[in-house]
Structure 1
Amino acid sequence: MARFSIVAAVSALASLAPLAQAQCGSGTPDATVSGSGSSFTATKGSSTIYSGSSYLTAIQTALDSISSGQRVSVLASGSIGASTISISSGKIFEGCGTIDVGNNAGHGAIESLNTDGVQIPYLTMTGNPYFGLRFYGTSNLVLGQITMNLSDGLGIRFDRDEAANSNVVMDTITVTGAGSHAVETWNIDGLSITQVIARDVGECGLLLQTTTNAWVGLVDGDNVATGTGYATFRMANNNGQNPDGGYDTNVYVDKVVSRGGGRGIFCVSQSGAAVIEDIDLADNGNNAILIENCYNLSINGGTVNGGGEVRVAARDEFPNTSDIWVTLTVDDTTVRESPCGENINWDISGNAELSVC
């Protein structure tokens, strides 16, 4: 288990290393966007390719002017309104200023669809997007230092009903104030995330769905999913299930931290095939941990302090929960198994009241 985690982390760092060697906008970008207020200039080399009042047009003109393997650095801050920036294959997009966005229903403020080799090493976003970043059909996508200070919307979304993705790498994703999820994945084979930091987020910090061969270093949530059935870290909708229908382990999470909000960890709807090495949960609402119709999940250590119960459960419409290993110190809340699962293995210390099969 540890070997996969290390290999995935090294792979992620190797992919990001060329981007992280310098600060955003340093060196000689192939194109830049500069300016402020209502005056923006897009430059490619020594040529001005746009000059005017539209921040959006300046950015898109700069992106459209470069070729695969080239870099755009957006040095200016501004607003694109309820519009969308589109990034095509092989291009490197750096958001060095702050990009303020509006709600473009059904779309991302920034999108890359059916592309290969796109990189976003830096981005700072504010506003209330429908989706901050939206992807599908991507391969070899790299996201670096992504910071979203939002007033609503969803942070990063991989679409459910579109083409699948492969070999996605994320470094540090920090999302504050999203009304929905900070990061939501569908249909990814090969995912590496260094950390997701979610603050005051309405639904999940990290939600993995139909995602396989994944490594996550840290999910850290504070006031995430308050008053909902969501969780700081949630796996749902057959997450981790192998193409043959089995649940051989392929999802590895180093640590989950959750304070307050709703659930801390939730595995549901025929998901599993996962190992969580360490957890630190305190004062979660609803369940601190809910494991429901989940298969082959190990939680190998950590603490739960107060908040809702730690529970193994099941719904009738799916096969019963099975092959679960939970090693934890649990204080000031309860541990319950209802209904009884299959091959459920508890190793609980602390003052928790146990009601297990």
Structure 2
Amino acid sequence: MSKLTLPLLTLTLALTRHVHAQCGAGTPDITVTGSSSSFTTTSSSGTQLYTGSSYLEALNQALSAATSGQRLAVMASGSIGASTLTLPSGITFEGCGTIDVANRAGYGAIEATDTEDVNIPYLTMTGDPYFGLRFSGNRNLALGEITMNLSGGLGIRFDRDRAASSNVSMDTITVTGAGSHAVETWNIDGLTVNSVIARDVGECGLLLQATTNAKVGLVDGDNVAAGTGYATFRMANNNGQTADGGYSTNVYVDKVVSRGGGRGIFCVSQSGAVEIGEIDLADNGNNAILIENCYNVVIKGGKVNGGGEVRISARDEFPNTSDVSITLQVDGTTVKESPCGDNISWTLTGSAEQSIC
């Protein structure tokens, strides 16, 4: 079995816990219903936990009543404004309606910190959050079908300066209109992602940082990171580096697709340990690919058409780029290696002008 097939199999198995017949199906333990200025929170026994005009209060009462192992289904749509919903350990939170949010500086509209076994199989969010979803210190966190149609802010954020997370899975994350990143991770050991689909996003589609043992299916960006140094798929800040300081392959990405915007793929600041199965990049506004001070990076195939150059580079403050293998068809742009890396392997087809070592 090939290396590429193994991550696909693992990814499929890891995401089976997201499977539900339909959002809100069956008999949730707690349900929030209503519309406009009339909302009701009800337990499965029929006990009315809240009735009134506040969507936020209806949700908070549901969360206050939920205990570990219970499922909470939010069928109603409404606005929580510049507030934060805090999810406790052990609950399943289904956002079946649309939750509209506003900016609360430094906070997520929905947060789970220092938790275990939180599951968000469905969520639809609109608005301009500081962070749409914010996490840290999570074990066995499962995100399912998450759709964010935003007018600013950052979609999903795992904090840099708080506790690390482990065994995190995401099914399909679709983010449109974020001013910053669609999905940004820090400090995760054990991450599986089916797909991240980013449209008209200001910075990265998927940004991995200090994250190890990651398996990603598809990263798909259109008009992502326009006019910036970011990329549809970016690895930074020692991403993939193992505890012993090495870069044995532990980050697997099946496919990266990028159209327009800024960079397509960017690896920087002592990251690497990555194998990318296939890429399809076109008309990126900055480098189509930039690999800078990264180690053990393999791109197994695909194509680049137009846009910025494919580049291997390095800065003086980090060890030189090394152990990179790239197999690509490149047309309508250039391929450049400067300064020369260590143990670099190019297998190139297409019409690109080449300036490599």
Structure 1 segments (4+ residues) deviating >3 Å: none
Using the alignment, how far apart are the partners of 2:12 and 2:331 within structure 1?
36
Does residue 16 (structure 1) correspond to residue 18 (structure 2)? The answer is yes
SS at match of 1:240: coil
What residue is the counterpart of 2:165 in the other structure? 165
What residue is the counterpart of 1:43 in the other structure? 42
What residue is the counterpart of 1:60 in the other structure? 60
1:279-313 Cα offsets, whole Å, 9 max, x none, are: 00000011000000000000000000000000000
User: Does structure 1 retain, via aligned residues, the 8 Å contact 2:8–2:217?
Assistant: no
What residue is the counterpart of 2:149 in the other structure? 149
Does residue 331 (structure 1) correspond to residue 331 (structure 2)? The answer is yes
Deviation at 1:177, TM superposition (A): 0.1
What residue is the counterpart of 1:33 in the other structure? 32
Using the alignment, how far apart are the partners of 1:291 and 1:42 within structure 2?
51
What residue is the counterpart of 2:318 in the other structure? 318
What residue is the counterpart of 1:132 in the other structure? 132
User: Does structure 2 retain, via aligned residues, the 8 Å contact 1:34–1:74?
Assistant: yes
What residue is the counterpart of 2:7 in the other structure? 5
Using the alignment, how far apart are the partners of 1:120 and 1:231 within structure 2?
27
Deviation at 1:324, TM superposition (A): 0.1
Using the alignment, how far apart are the partners of 2:340 and 2:310 within structure 1?
14
1:297-345 Cα offsets, whole Å, 9 max, x none, are: 0000000000000000000000000000000000010000000010011
The letter for the 1-side match of 2:83 is S
Using the alignment, how far apart are the partners of 2:17 and 2:27 within structure 1?
20
SS at match of 2:56: helix
Deviation at 1:39, TM superposition (A): 1.2
Deviation at 1:3, TM superposition (A): 4.4
SS at match of 1:243: coil
Matches within 5 A, 1:73-152: 73-152=73-152
Deviation at 1:38, TM superposition (A): 1.2
Identity %: 72
SS at match of 1:8: helix
What residue is the counterpart of 1:283 in the other structure? 283
User: Does structure 2 retain, via aligned residues, the 8 Å contact 1:108–1:131?
Assistant: yes
User: Does structure 2 retain, via aligned residues, the 8 Å contact 1:31–1:44?
Assistant: yes
User: Does structure 2 retain, via aligned residues, the 8 Å contact 1:12–1:193?
Assistant: no
Using the alignment, how far apart are the partners of 1:61 and 1:313 within structure 2?
54
Moved more, 66-75 or 328-337: 66-75
Using the alignment, how far apart are the partners of 1:7 and 1:209 within structure 2?
24
Q: Give the TM-score, by structure 1 length.
A: 0.98
Deviation at 1:355, TM superposition (A): 0.0
Deviation at 1:9, TM superposition (A): 1.2
Matches within 5 A, 1:218-257: 218-257=218-257
User: Does structure 2 retain, via aligned residues, the 8 Å contact 1:253–1:275?
Assistant: yes
Using the alignment, how far apart are the partners of 1:188 and 1:15 within structure 2?
19
User: Does structure 1 retain, via aligned residues, the 8 Å contact 2:240–2:274?
Assistant: yes
Using the alignment, how far apart are the partners of 1:93 and 1:120 within structure 2?
5
The letter for the 1-side match of 2:40 is T
Deviation at 1:53, TM superposition (A): 1.3
SS at match of 2:315: coil
Using the alignment, how far apart are the partners of 1:36 and 1:205 within structure 2?
33
1:206-227 Cα offsets, whole Å, 9 max, x none, are: 0000000000000000000000
Equivalent residue pairs, number? 354
Using the alignment, how far apart are the partners of 2:312 and 2:10 within structure 1?
29
Using the alignment, how far apart are the partners of 1:6 and 1:287 within structure 2?
28
Using the alignment, how far apart are the partners of 2:10 and 2:184 within structure 1?
20
SS at match of 2:64: helix
Deviation at 1:16, TM superposition (A): 1.8
Q: Give the TM-score, by structure 2 length.
A: 0.98
Deviation at 1:64, TM superposition (A): 1.5
Using the alignment, how far apart are the partners of 1:311 and 1:66 within structure 2?
52
Deviation at 1:12, TM superposition (A): 2.0
The letter for the 1-side match of 2:163 is A
RMSD: 0.7
